[in-house]
Chain A
């Protein structure tokens, strides 16, 4: 059983399009992290959000943490082929010494 469900599971879009990836849970998290993983490599941390309702922007990427700290979204504007990869959300819970990873969204941006 996964604590964090991501949708969609797969996404294939044309270069220049916008997209949103969702990360949902029935559990509350003290913080939510987003990672991108490329084939043959480990995940790379993109952002950490810690406050309910928080919005963070990283160039063309916008991350939002839900008000109730149970969900998050990642929006990419004008996607580029370099955005291709596996996007993973991961939640931390108070008292737990590990992250709970989401099911992942595999994004392909076609030139």
Chain B
């Protein structure tokens, strides 16, 4: 079966711009979680969606937002980009909520210049 698909793989944006990242989970998986990975902080939890509802949100500013559609696909948006937002953004899907049995996508590498 197809894995978790994240698009695009690479992005270069300018400070102040906004960006939207997309994640298509494994078929049948209703939970999608987003993480930010940086060399200094490691993997930090952004948010989790289950059946189109945000169940949990990490400690990130309001510039970071997301949503989930009825087909379980998810998008995350970052507005007013800052240099510190440069990171690998990972999406993980699972059958149930709560962080069990994650399958991660390959990530979107965002560079803010």
Contact = CB atoms under 8 A, between A and B. Distances in A.
A96 interface: yes
Contacts of A99: 45, 99, 102
B26 interface: no
B111 interface: no
Interface in A64-90: 88, 90
Given A2-B42, A42-B92, A104-B42, A98 B48 contact: yes
B104 A43 contact: yes
A98 B58 contact: yes
Interface string A7-44: 00000000000000000000000010101000011111
Given A40-B106, A42-B90, A42-B92, A98 B45 contact: yes
B101 A92 contact: no
Q: What class of interface size applies to chain B in its complex with A?
A: 20 to 34
A97 B100 contact: no
Contact of B104 (A2, A31, A42, A92): A42
A98 B92 CA distance: 11
Contacts of A101: 35, 42-44
Contacts of A90: 43, 99
A31 B90 contact: no
A98 B99 contact: yes
Contact of B98 (A35, A92, A100, A103): A92
Interface in B19-48: 33, 35, 42-45, 48
B81 interface: no
B107 interface: yes
A45 B102 contact: yes
Given A41-B107, A42-B107, A97 B56 contact: yes
Contacts of B44: 101
